[in-house]
Structure 1
């Protein structure tokens, strides 16, 4: 019996399980703290801001997310990850990749700003926001936008080198700073103040991430032409999709914004704050799983095994969360305050759609980290078909109709992303058999 115990506890598999258990427990506990602070900050914003101001805040953040996606060209960060994966322990090469990615991001950012700010102004004016508030909100979005661009590139280095604890320390302190500043809304309950608070905390976050990346990546002013070519090759395949997904990614909010009411915009934004619980798993997945998947060799058996394992884990986590929210929806809504009471069905459906979207997004992140991008003509055509089909079936003028539409869209996208990942891995098997 003792021999069996010693074999089990000293074996290779047990060591692997123990290592992963330690990593997940450290990362998971830190992410719980990070997301809890972020959640408290978000709930404070919801409770303090009047419904009309929170609708403005929601629209601005939606445009900001779209701007960030467009400035990435749909694939610069993915290109940095896929290029950095094979050379993750080469400081010089990693620095060239990082520097090239930053230069490309800045170029895309300028064009994005010219396109996005007029769209933000139009949306705000469409909801009867005054010119003074419209200008204030538009100005407050710009620094937040530029700072988030560099942050999302710098943290790729920390993830590739698996500097998890320093990375999470920065995230914890950033969220604490945002929470502290959020209390100023008690004196000035205005949307542009809430956005500016995020910008201030993001400035500190960007500087710290840059310092964390420096020991592992030798930054240079020169652009590596080969790296630039490879990243742009990914961008070329993803940019059409990025342009499309910049609109379709927040399709439920766009629909309620154009066809619904200002109150509906605020409600779906508030439900999204409950959905932030999912960001714990999104962050853990992007920090622990995706970089490791990017570093795997082109062995189709290993890739297929890991791909299926990771998707199943995500699915189980999301199923548990949907069940929890369904059983205790009253308590979750209680957190949002009386202004949003009674949205039980809407909340459950929103979390279901967000959970399916999380699994779909996880599948996409895994395949994209290998540089595998579905032809944009195919992906965009399928998504347009999905959207047209959903719009013809569901009532997009009501809040619950728009949310059901979102669930429907997430299901079809999961099928598309998941099956494409399996197909790409089996292509490796076919190539391997040809060479043998």
Structure 2
């Protein structure tokens, strides 16, 4: 057999392997995202506008707490785990060290963020009882979310896609079933939050059992690993704190300057972004771990980075065209109270597209242990926000979406540019 034929056969076998992996992960994720989307629509339709606004605020706070609690721990664990992913004892030590740090950060996050949530809920006419119930319901959902991200590192590193996908499907089906049972009789925000947290807790138990095949949870925590993770945390934490605020900037501004109905409208439009979760999860499961494991080769890393970003950009164009053609149908799904947001749908999807590209670029370089100077990142981002608030009229929903587009566009350029800069700095 000729060398050329071997090359062609090798390329063909790799293509078949990728198609098989993508079809496996894609089919499962299609079910996951479909059930997640149906759950989101069920919440929008079943909760009154006031309750859905409170649910949107609580969800924004939950996302903030998750980012604040992580602070780079998952990134550091992925970075350290990629070095020892074939060593059961050392991988278990990395996970135990990361979980210990995560528990410590969790207490700090709760102490800081829960009082803020309580204050915002009271400002939007939530009673003392409802505010307390929502705050309490958020705690189990929070702990389940932050632990799950660490426990998913093992199957991602080993590319054990099937078991991870099955657990995610079961998790989302469980959430949908709980929502169907509870919301028809108890259409309250704290019930919807609890229905999301309970299945995730069950999934974490199953993930830990799976991880124990490849990671020794009896291994002791390692000070050197902890120091390495904390070094990444120190570099990432300022940016994480910033993203706690900027990631939900429209919701935060609306909670201060907007009405309850504006928050509900923004939350409903944000549900459309769930359509991008399929791409984000596939990226985090298939692409990001492989990029983290690539050798330190300038040409290979640059080629792979550009290929990934080009593919994601093409998929975003496809999604944007779909939103433009099907805007009426999308609003019909959301419900009659959102039928006047025809133009806002397309712009909201555009903001989600650009935000996804920014997040993917950030995850690609951060999971290789590269971190942008946090003061530069925060300084540029704050300037962007201040300029956007000064330049754009944020008194309307369209203005809030325009501000979001302006902010995520600057972040996409910054993260993509920094990743290319770090790759270019590699000594050939």
**Where does the alignment leave 5 or more consecutive residues of structure 2 unmatched?**
none
Tell whether 2:167 aligns with 1:170. yes
- Counterpart residue number, 2:37: 39
Query: Alignment partner for residue 204 of structure 2, among 197, 203, 206?
Result: 206
- Counterpart residue number, 2:249: 251
**What is the TM-score with the length of structure 2 in the denominator?**
0.98
The structural deviation recorded for 1:9 is 9.9
C-alpha distance in structure 2 between counterparts of 1:173 and 1:7, whole Å = 44
**What is the TM-score with the length of structure 1 in the denominator?**
0.96
Query: Alignment partner for residue 138 of structure 2, among 141, 144, 152?
Result: 141
C-alpha distance in structure 2 between counterparts of 1:400 and 1:264, whole Å = 10
Tell whether 2:326 aligns with 1:331. no
In the TM superposition, 1:131-280 aligns within 5 A as 131-183=128-180, 184-220=182-218, 222-280=220-278
- Counterpart residue number, 1:76: 73
Q: Comparing 214-223 with 368-377, which one deviates more in the overlay?
A: 214-223
The structural deviation recorded for 1:398 is 1.1
Tell whether 2:83 aligns with 1:89. no
The structural deviation recorded for 1:343 is 0.5
C-alpha distance in structure 1 between counterparts of 2:318 and 2:83, whole Å = 35
State the SS of the aligned residue for 1:86: helix
Tell whether 2:383 aligns with 1:388. no
Cα-to-partner distance string for 1:255-283 (whole Å, 9 max, x where unaligned) = 11111110010111111111100000000
Query: Alignment partner for residue 113 of structure 2, among 111, 116, 140?
Result: 116
Query: Alignment partner for residue 309 of structure 1, among 297, 307, 312?
Result: 307
* Residues 256 and 399 in structure 1, CA contact (< 8 A), matched pair in contact too: no
The structural deviation recorded for 1:92 is 1.2
State the SS of the aligned residue for 1:297: coil
State the SS of the aligned residue for 2:83: coil
State the SS of the aligned residue for 1:342: coil
- Counterpart residue number, 2:409: 411
C-alpha distance in structure 2 between counterparts of 1:22 and 1:342, whole Å = 42
**Where does the alignment leave 5 or more consecutive residues of structure 1 unmatched?**
none
* Residues 53 and 260 in structure 2, CA contact (< 8 A), matched pair in contact too: yes
* Residues 96 and 223 in structure 1, CA contact (< 8 A), matched pair in contact too: yes
The structural deviation recorded for 1:147 is 1.4
The structural deviation recorded for 1:16 is 1.0
Q: How many residues end up aligned between the 2 structures? A: 426
CA RMSD of aligned residues (A): 1.4
Change (3 A) 1:303 1:9: closer
* Residues 89 and 219 in structure 2, CA contact (< 8 A), matched pair in contact too: no
